[in-house]
Every structure is written in C-alpha cells, then in structure tokens.
Amino acid sequence: MSDIKIIAFDADDTLWVNEYHYHKAEHLFAQMMSRFTSPEEARGALLRKEKENLPLLGYGSKPFIISLVETAIELSNGAVTTDEITRIIELGKNTIGQKIELMPNVVDVLEKLYGRVPLVLATKGDLKEQESKIERSGLSRYFSAIKIMSEKNTKSYQEILYDHKIEPHQFLMVGNSFKSDILPVLELGGYAIYIPAEITWEHEIVEEREHPNLLKADSLSPDLFTAWTL
C-alpha cells in the first residue's frame, strides 16, 4: 500500500451534497402525482423511467427532467396539464445550480494530501453540469487532473491508469457508490475507500462485499489515509 501513486475522488455525495436535491424533487413530484396514483407508485415509475433512459440520455439533471415529464404523462394517461408539466420541469431545473455544500472534512483531507500525491477528480454525468459544480466548489486547485465520465466502469478507470502510466495496485479511489466507485476499481486490482452517503439513488445500490483492498468508513477524514505511506 506504500506504492500508491494516484488518489482519485468521486465528486457527487463524496465531496459535496448532491442526491439530496434529487430526493427532494422526487418527493415533490410524487405529491404532484397524487391525483393519479400513490406516492410509492409515482416514485417507482420514475425510477423505472430513469433506468430506461440511462443508455440514451446518461446521468444528470437534464435526463432527470425528461424522465419526470415522461413519467407524469404516462401515470396520468396524458391528462397532466400544461401548468403541471411546467411545474414539473421547474422541479427538475431546481436540481441544477444549487449552492455547493461540501461534505464534512473535505478541505482538511485535500489539504493534507495536496502536494504529497497527485489527486484526480473522477466523476460521471453531464459535462457542463459537472464542470459547473467543480468550478463552484472551489476545489479544482487541489486536483492535477479532472475526468468526467459518461459511465464508471472498469474501462473508464483503466483509462485513468493508462493516462497516468500506473498499475492498478498504485491507484486508490475514494467514493460513496459501491457500484460505480468501488467495484470496478477492486476488479482491476486497485484500492478503494468506501464512504456510504446518507441518501443513495436506488440505481446505484448493489450488494456490498468485503475485500482486502477495501476500507469502509462512516465519513471522510484525514485519518483514513494513514494506512497508506504517501
């Protein structure tokens, strides 16, 4: 573990709060659909529509807005009004441009690591949306490289290794999604620090497992990195 050459950080819900804004919008959407169906069915239908749209539209607020509108039309059998659709679009747009709320200890951790080992920001989603979040976070100065991916899988992480000319055992990933941030890195032979978020999008939930290269923690802290001699 003393050979770590790159530490990569996920962004949404690892460095700053993100899913909370979508969770709030989903709750309000379910309330709006109450004249057509139950809140549980509305949320379930929305999740199914989001998953259906992922291969074509990807991640972020724009695909979320499209899924909201399509779900409302389907649940209402086309009876949803223009005014309601306008309100639904505003719900989705409110997830964009929210004030960045950093997770606890983020700055302390980055300050400790900065200059000791190259840091990479590895996130997925809409390019413009993620670029805006990164700029507004004020954290870009800590990272020697920023990679915004359409999907997080072994191929996308392998590209990071290739770009930095390192082997998997020299790579450490920090993230909140076991599916996107942890499993692909472990499969490659890298190391990972898993910090579950308070709210996780259901699409990102998979069965977790232990691994000799994995450290699980309740929150981000400078002490987590003492296991690695950097």
The model's pLDDT over 137-175, given as tens digits with 9 standing for 90+, comes to: 999 999 999 999 999 999 999 999 999 999 999 999 999
pLDDT tier at 177, thresholds 50, 70, 90? very high
CATH class of domain segment(s) 19-93: mainly alpha
Supply the pTM of this predicted model.
0.91
The model's pLDDT over 58-86, given as tens digits with 9 standing for 90+, comes to: 999 999 999 999 999 999 999 999 999 99
What is the rounded CA–CA span in Å between residue 211 and residue 225? Answer: 17
Model pLDDT, residue 228? 65
Q: What is the dihedral of CA 35, 50, 16, 98, to 10 degrees?
A: -50
3-state secondary structure of 134: helix
What is the rounded CA–CA span in Å between residue 173 and residue 157? Answer: 10
What is the rounded CA–CA span in Å between residue 142 and residue 115? Answer: 9
Q: What are the domain boundaries of the chain?
A: 6-16+101-227, 19-93
Percentage, residues of the chain above pLDDT 90: 88
Identity of residue 107: V
| pLDDT of 1 above 70 | no
Q: Are strands 191-194 and 171-175 parallel, antiparallel or unpaired?
A: parallel
Closest CA to 57 of 70, 43, 73: 70
Percentage, residues of the chain above pLDDT 70: 97
The model's pLDDT over 183-196, given as tens digits with 9 standing for 90+, comes to: 999 999 999 999 99
Q: What mean pLDDT is reported for the chain?
A: 94
In terms of CATH architecture, what is 6-16+101-227? 3-Layer(aba) Sandwich (3.40)
| pLDDT of 230 above 50 | no
Mean pLDDT of 30-57: 95
Mean pLDDT of 14-31: 95
pLDDT tier at 2, thresholds 50, 70, 90? low
What is the rounded CA–CA span in Å between residue 163 and residue 68? Answer: 37
